[in-house]
Structure 1
């Protein structure tokens, strides 16, 4: 078979035989134009023409027309299809129309229509501002003011934004923590609010989606308080049932909005390769990079053969080598990585490979290794902005990034995208694939399977990627752990009324009663007020990102320089005393960790660190159950107690254990939802499992089930947790738990309970189909196991999973 460029740059005969599993070709698509709307501002249209947009695409016009008519609209089309035009065309036209009609006096300025643009990341907001300012310059429009405003914005700049900006670009976090609590200072923006643009709204799933849905309800409520009735424009990647997800975000009925899903933009041919790192040669050292934590019209080809036995090369090492080869062949690429540590590791290893063997680039100019960098959360704002600039200008040829760059940042001219491990959902997968070959050019995307049972299953069952509908975005705004603190914040903004409770959903009425009983709210006549005698700031009662507290600052000892930040929920495991912290290829040893600060010093060490934790689960409430013969399945409320108890030092590059060290850190308690199954001990006796075998069999079955839950629920293994035990204190029987890793739950385990037969059957098939003998990361080992993957029994797990499948009701 003839492969397109740049896939040939990655293929040697050995690689083609050992790594390439499947190739899918998505054919090119021609675009369909539509005329500019009659109401569109003439100067703005001329500005688009100067930027090369002579006529818009049909979907852009359909969405813009709906928004101009005052209808909420969701535009769900592919990456690079120009969704921002559908928002900026009515927004800028509205400002210019008002400017002509009202004049330029101070009074007129206070009555001008405004637009609030929300993005899930600061990088996307900064990129949108860059594109917006370029458009306004091309259109020679000087009477429209656009600005970003977020947690990185200086106070003096915030004052200017509040007083003058027509288009304010920010994120839900800033709206929650700053804009809504201080809404009196934002009266001009809220009084004139004409449009609320929610970009990349498919990113708001699970608990984050629930938080953002309530923040939007609070925002629309305050706008109405100031007399505005804004129209919402939601932009999404191609996703399942976008109208339902958008309506749930806004708190409206689906018939109150228009869904535009027919993508009329052109698309170049894309080649999507599924890749599995090769089996290591007998006797070769296990090379690792520590990463911390076809349908109609589509052509497909798959090599024959089955994977050989033995340990495979690590996903991060394989990705780094492929990325280095792309740089050597003068191609621009992104490598998407699941973790922040993994992004740093791939960038560092790629630079090392390029220094050892630079390739064909002009060595008299920039060194190839200097064109590779990492990009992740936790960097300082100025560092992020510089990386974004360098990527846009081409000073950087390769970037190893977390999903912070998955979203709509405009990066043109990318030849290839490497995806190190399944990103969790088909929505994210196609969003990342869409970063390659933008603007109608041909592109390549390579999914490199991680040592994960789901990844191994997917690359060898490509129909589950290419022939399965994209998931709908799942979230629950009625989650009481999400809604209750937002009701407190809303009551502090403007007292809650009976009508407001309808806006916040059917669970709100019960919650305000409980909040009154707890002394958080006070009832006065027909309204509920925040209890100002309490010491808390109501906005601080919740964290939209689920970090569990303020971020931990990483500070360099001696200089006092802040290197970056770490989310509170991850800090105990990543910046404890003795941990190794990596930042753009430099390694730092954590000397001290206390009071939300980690003190580090630069150190050259030949090892990395991994934390160890202990966990306990209590059953609080059983909400549903089903009987599979002697096996009882349950779904309900759980309390999970977790504590980091120590860490290991592992030698590079093999990650061989050097030593283990204890830590004395506090416990963390999580109240969430989960599903579990139990059976009497004699059930396992009949399978030939002795009592001594049972812990390893259940533990292995738990790992495999967690790895495969993403096949049936909109999640990945990092969203969920689990526990298995031969005797549990609440059930008095052997029990396996799988739970959502978010306060109040996120619906993932509930989905697993609802389709348990499909889930467990896929789990059994994945373990049985793995060619290893005793278990490996592709079937029963877990990268996040707090017990160092011990004990594990693959044969026992197959017996247990086989019994569950046999007992599953039709």
Structure 2
């Protein structure tokens, strides 16, 4: 292990890079607390754990294992690397041994003589299941146990292997997708396992959020129902990163009451001292003059947003109502407020802002906004183009490797992972050519055997560093790492702490650095450490009663076994009404004995758990026919189009042909000094106006929309200076998502009333769009990633400036519809959240978004508040119920 002080010195380059570190936080070490092995634990299994170095379990492991063994649904919510897997494998392996398990089964039934307790393990990714299988094999081999049969079974498993698993396996490791598409529809083939099911393990359950979480929750309800039909009532064991109220989230996921779930949240494992650094890359050479010097000296609308005089949060009078980029998207779990930073003050009417020099007349606070904005910001007053986060991380990773550190560098994209790995290897060749071979990339799209080899290499130390996407964020067991670099805000604090938890595992000290991308959100965060370290993590939000999600699962459940009236409660209070509607539409048939699926096609095809949009595109080398990897169908047009440069483990390939119908991209190995960047356009077209509401000149609408994206061409840019070498047009089909949206218009008269000039309208509308997307999860049970949006100063279908918020799923998911129903409440909350936020010019708590495709530009916080005030002036009030005219409309 390398000392943390040496690692930090390597980042700072002996002080030469000290000005890039905006904040350092030292998180104290924690002593571990052991507990004795439970008396019920199988002695051979205990011996196996002792042989691999686990003398005694940590206290939280023993507590959770005891709860599970006693038959309580249990969720263990502790930090990354705290050993959550032992807590569920100890009771599962003990039950599978048979001798102890036989005493817990019904002795009155003859079949219990040969029936052994089974366990079904579910996790979000195949890689995690493979890692758990390896760990289990290690324990069983150390224990000398040969009578427990463990198997991984997923979509890649052959039919012969699948039959063996059905007939013999005691512990089956898989994922919710396999459960939905294969196991539950063919449950009779799995009768042996389902009838003996003692435990269901749901690992990394915090990953099941939003619509995906709702789908998984309904799959688990279907599993409970089918297992019950075979006489089993399994205990659910859930493992999660630290989340807000894990007992409530776990109960909602498996479909029970919160008081039926035991939550273990006190982490008793040791933790080393962790040094957490916030980092901003330097200005590019020649960028000393601020770009804002080109703006006019006077800005007639440079008016500050005064702090509100009243509360906008009912739970905390006087405090701002932040958006879900910072706090839990659930009003039941309010988060701590954002404390205004000491380095800036919110402007007030008495604070002179935006004078002709672009500087506030306040010597105590010399930092101010760019000339012409009339706003004050905390970033460098001479801000300008900065070095990219990927280039900066490559330098930092190089220095960490040179000093002997074992590191991970998390990036936001597959391209960035390959870029960081390639640049790091190039830097290392100038220092020590042998070191270049100790760095690699790791990302989705690699073949399974490649990923397993990389995981083994980083564990063993053969590799010193991996540049990776969030594919390594979940619980793949990689211990002994010294440092983690995070290139860009990962979107949530849960993800950030998951990634940071990879550093200093097994009680060792560690170093973490969050490197800001050239994005206002990232810039804000590295200058506001309280937004990272002093705010609670997000809750896991999803809604299994959403009819758009529930309906196809009711069809799938009826196809598995006819639905009975006494079973409806497990699916929610509105199930009977939804079944009646499905019968009226001809999807199901009602009989005295229940509801039946009578169609020839599988009911499971009605839904896609992950909304992936189709089968992945295979990347194949033309000359050899070798499969290099895969690309998600949704991103294939932009990444493996004709002429695209595809990077795989540092080797560059050029795409010869993309065959969309066959799902194949043919590539040729070629060394090139450039990369390719796709150009695309996105549009939103109103297909049908199902309902429309008039607020005076403002129109609220809800209906079906087509969100269309089309790749038009690409640019070739030289690496590393990104000079444009040329452009090429492409003839690719448009991709259209038919979904539902809510929208509101702002005619010219409303913009004029708001004092929003034509050139300011895009920033005002864009800021209002971001804030409304951030606030909708407070009113509709969804996740920010379940929504999309568009704002435009003139929309062809409405004829006015328009803001759209749409569901990010085919056919809609009910969120936009709910937003339409609560329009006045939603828009007032949006306005108040922006105005109440103590930041002067926009931040992640109000108008910046972690998922903005336009790099959070343009955004105009002050103009957004004025615009929303003008729109809300026409909103209906409680004492004027006839102020709103609502009527269904046809397109």
Q: Which TM bucket (shorter chain)?
A: 0.7 to 0.9
Quick one: structure 1 residues 532 and 3, their matched pair in 2 at CA, closer, same or farther if it must change by over 3 Å?
closer
Question: In 2, Cα distance between the equivalents of 1:702 and 1:573?
Answer: 29
**2:135 aligned with 1:131:** yes
Quick one: structure 1 residues 99 and 764, their matched pair in 2 at CA, closer, same or farther if it must change by over 3 Å?
closer
Question: In 1, Cα distance between the equivalents of 2:852 and 2:770?
Answer: 12
Q: Which residue, out of 316, 321, 326, partners 2:400? A: 326
Q: Which moved more, 1:155-164 or 1:422-431?
A: 155-164
> What is the DSSP-based 3-state SS (H/G/I as helix, E as strand, rest coil) of the residue aligned with 1:396?
coil
What corresponds to 1:275 in structure 2? Answer: 279
What corresponds to 2:363 in structure 1? Answer: none
> What is the DSSP-based 3-state SS (H/G/I as helix, E as strand, rest coil) of the residue aligned with 1:352?
helix
Quick one: structure 1 residues 569 and 347, their matched pair in 2 at CA, closer, same or farther if it must change by over 3 Å?
same
Offset, 1:34? 2.0
Offset, 1:57? 1.8
Quick one: structure 1 residues 142 and 746, their matched pair in 2 at CA, closer, same or farther if it must change by over 3 Å?
farther
| Aligned pairs for 1:557-572 within 5 A | 557-572=622-637
Question: In 1, Cα distance between the equivalents of 2:573 and 2:784?
Answer: 31
Question: In 2, Cα distance between the equivalents of 1:660 and 1:761?
Answer: 45
After TM superposition, the score normalised by the length of structure 1 is: 0.86
Q: Write the deviation string for residues 247-293 of structure 1: whole angstroms up to 9, x where unpaired.
A: 111111111111111111111111111111111121699xxxxxxxx
What corresponds to 1:210 in structure 2? Answer: 214
Q: Which residue, out of 420, 427, 444, partners 1:346? A: 420
Offset, 1:580? 2.8
Quick one: structure 1 residues 259 and 135, their matched pair in 2 at CA, closer, same or farther if it must change by over 3 Å?
same
**2:426 aligned with 1:357:** no
What corresponds to 1:19 in structure 2? Answer: 20
> What is the DSSP-based 3-state SS (H/G/I as helix, E as strand, rest coil) of the residue aligned with 2:5?
coil
Question: In 2, Cα distance between the equivalents of 1:226 and 1:279?
Answer: 65
What corresponds to 2:317 in structure 1? Answer: none
Question: In 1, Cα distance between the equivalents of 2:785 and 2:71?
Answer: 40
Question: In 2, Cα distance between the equivalents of 1:202 and 1:678?
Answer: 37
> What is the DSSP-based 3-state SS (H/G/I as helix, E as strand, rest coil) of the residue aligned with 1:519?
coil
Question: In 2, Cα distance between the equivalents of 1:746 and 1:415?
Answer: 45
Q: Tell me if structure 2 keeps the 8 A contact 1:176–1:215.
A: yes
Quick one: structure 1 residues 620 and 499, their matched pair in 2 at CA, closer, same or farther if it must change by over 3 Å?
farther
Question: In 2, Cα distance between the equivalents of 1:158 and 1:646?
Answer: 44
**2:227 aligned with 1:223:** yes
Question: In 1, Cα distance between the equivalents of 2:436 and 2:848?
Answer: 35
Offset, 1:401? 1.3
Question: In 1, Cα distance between the equivalents of 2:849 and 2:60?
Answer: 45
Question: In 2, Cα distance between the equivalents of 1:528 and 1:317?
Answer: 59
Q: Which residue, out of 695, 708, 717, partners 1:651? A: 717
Q: Tell me if structure 1 keeps the 8 A contact 2:828–2:872.
A: no
What corresponds to 1:501 in structure 2? Answer: 568
What corresponds to 1:32 in structure 2? Answer: 33
Q: Tell me if structure 2 keeps the 8 A contact 1:422–1:447.
A: yes
Q: Which residue, out of 775, 784, 804, partners 2:853? A: 784
What corresponds to 1:515 in structure 2? Answer: 582
Offset, 1:711? 12
Q: Tell me if structure 2 keeps the 8 A contact 1:761–1:805.
A: no
Question: In 1, Cα distance between the equivalents of 2:407 and 2:565?
Answer: 53
> What is the DSSP-based 3-state SS (H/G/I as helix, E as strand, rest coil) of the residue aligned with 1:482?
helix
What corresponds to 2:410 in structure 1? Answer: 336
After TM superposition, the score normalised by the length of structure 2 is: 0.79
Q: Write the deviation string for residues 489-530 of structure 1: whole angstroms up to 9, x where unpaired.
A: 222211122233322223433333333344332223232222
Question: In 1, Cα distance between the equivalents of 2:766 and 2:241?
Answer: 36
| Aligned pairs for 1:378-393 within 5 A | 378-393=445-460
Q: Which residue, out of 148, 155, 158, partners 1:151? A: 155
What corresponds to 2:612 in structure 1? Answer: 547
Quick one: structure 1 residues 715 and 765, their matched pair in 2 at CA, closer, same or farther if it must change by over 3 Å?
farther
Q: Which residue, out of 583, 591, 602, partners 2:648? A: 583
> What is the DSSP-based 3-state SS (H/G/I as helix, E as strand, rest coil) of the residue aligned with 2:12?
coil
What corresponds to 1:442 in structure 2? Answer: 509
Offset, 1:50? 1.9
Question: In 2, Cα distance between the equivalents of 1:40 and 1:539?
Answer: 39
Quick one: structure 1 residues 85 and 435, their matched pair in 2 at CA, closer, same or farther if it must change by over 3 Å?
same
| Aligned pairs for 1:88-107 within 5 A | 88-98=89-99, 101=102
**2:112 aligned with 1:113:** no
Question: In 2, Cα distance between the equivalents of 1:655 and 1:33?
Answer: 54
| Aligned pairs for 1:276-315 within 5 A | 276-282=280-286, 306-307=379-380, 308-315=382-389
Q: Tell me if structure 2 keeps the 8 A contact 1:217–1:503.
A: yes
Offset, 1:670? 3.3
| Aligned pairs for 1:619-698 within 5 A | 639-652=705-718, 653-657=720-724, 658-672=726-740, 676-686=743-753, 689-691=756-758, 693=759, 696-698=762-764
Question: In 2, Cα distance between the equivalents of 1:20 and 1:480?
Answer: 48
Q: Tell me if structure 2 keeps the 8 A contact 1:453–1:707.
A: no
Question: In 2, Cα distance between the equivalents of 1:8 and 1:579?
Answer: 40
Quick one: structure 1 residues 793 and 425, their matched pair in 2 at CA, closer, same or farther if it must change by over 3 Å?
closer
Quick one: structure 1 residues 424 and 710, their matched pair in 2 at CA, closer, same or farther if it must change by over 3 Å?
farther
Offset, 1:131? 1.2
Question: In 2, Cα distance between the equivalents of 1:395 and 1:680?
Answer: 63
> What is the DSSP-based 3-state SS (H/G/I as helix, E as strand, rest coil) of the residue aligned with 2:383?
coil
Offset, 1:126? 1.1
Q: Which residue, out of 800, 807, 814, partners 1:733? A: 800
What corresponds to 1:475 in structure 2? Answer: 542
What corresponds to 1:701 in structure 2? Answer: 767
Aligned CA RMSD, in angstroms, stands at 3.7
Count of paired positions: 770
Offset, 1:340? 1.8
Question: In 2, Cα distance between the equivalents of 1:242 and 1:201?
Answer: 10
Q: Write the deviation string for residues 208-229 of structure 1: whole angstroms up to 9, x where unpaired.
A: 1111111111111111111100
Unaligned ranges ≥5, structure 1:
286-294, 771-777
Question: In 2, Cα distance between the equivalents of 1:153 and 1:563?
Answer: 20
Q: Which residue, out of 450, 454, 469, partners 2:521? A: 454
Q: Tell me if structure 2 keeps the 8 A contact 1:206–1:746.
A: no
Question: In 2, Cα distance between the equivalents of 1:252 and 1:212?
Answer: 14
What corresponds to 1:291 in structure 2? Answer: none
**2:251 aligned with 1:186:** no
> What is the DSSP-based 3-state SS (H/G/I as helix, E as strand, rest coil) of the residue aligned with 1:612?
strand
Offset, 1:21? 0.8
Quick one: structure 1 residues 680 and 706, their matched pair in 2 at CA, closer, same or farther if it must change by over 3 Å?
closer
Question: In 2, Cα distance between the equivalents of 1:318 and 1:719?
Answer: 32
Offset, 1:672? 4.2
Offset, 1:681? 1.4
Q: Write the deviation string for residues 552-610 of structure 1: whole angstroms up to 9, x where unpaired.
A: 22222233222222222222333333333222222333312321222222333323122
Quick one: structure 1 residues 36 and 499, their matched pair in 2 at CA, closer, same or farther if it must change by over 3 Å?
same
What corresponds to 1:724 in structure 2? Answer: 791
Q: Tell me if structure 2 keeps the 8 A contact 1:764–1:801.
A: no
Quick one: structure 1 residues 342 and 508, their matched pair in 2 at CA, closer, same or farther if it must change by over 3 Å?
farther
Q: Tell me if structure 1 keeps the 8 A contact 2:771–2:830.
A: no
Question: In 2, Cα distance between the equivalents of 1:619 and 1:698?
Answer: 26
Question: In 2, Cα distance between the equivalents of 1:769 and 1:197?
Answer: 39
What corresponds to 1:614 in structure 2? Answer: 682
What corresponds to 1:290 in structure 2? Answer: none
Offset, 1:717? 8.0
Quick one: structure 1 residues 462 and 72, their matched pair in 2 at CA, closer, same or farther if it must change by over 3 Å?
same
Offset, 1:435? 0.8
Q: Which residue, out of 778, 783, 801, partners 2:864? A: 801
> What is the DSSP-based 3-state SS (H/G/I as helix, E as strand, rest coil) of the residue aligned with 1:4?
helix
Question: In 2, Cα distance between the equivalents of 1:65 and 1:15?
Answer: 53
Q: Tell me if structure 1 keeps the 8 A contact 2:698–2:871.
A: no
> What is the DSSP-based 3-state SS (H/G/I as helix, E as strand, rest coil) of the residue aligned with 1:39?
coil
What corresponds to 1:292 in structure 2? Answer: none
Q: Tell me if structure 1 keeps the 8 A contact 2:288–2:384.
A: no
What corresponds to 1:742 in structure 2? Answer: 809
Question: In 2, Cα distance between the equivalents of 1:462 and 1:327?
Answer: 27
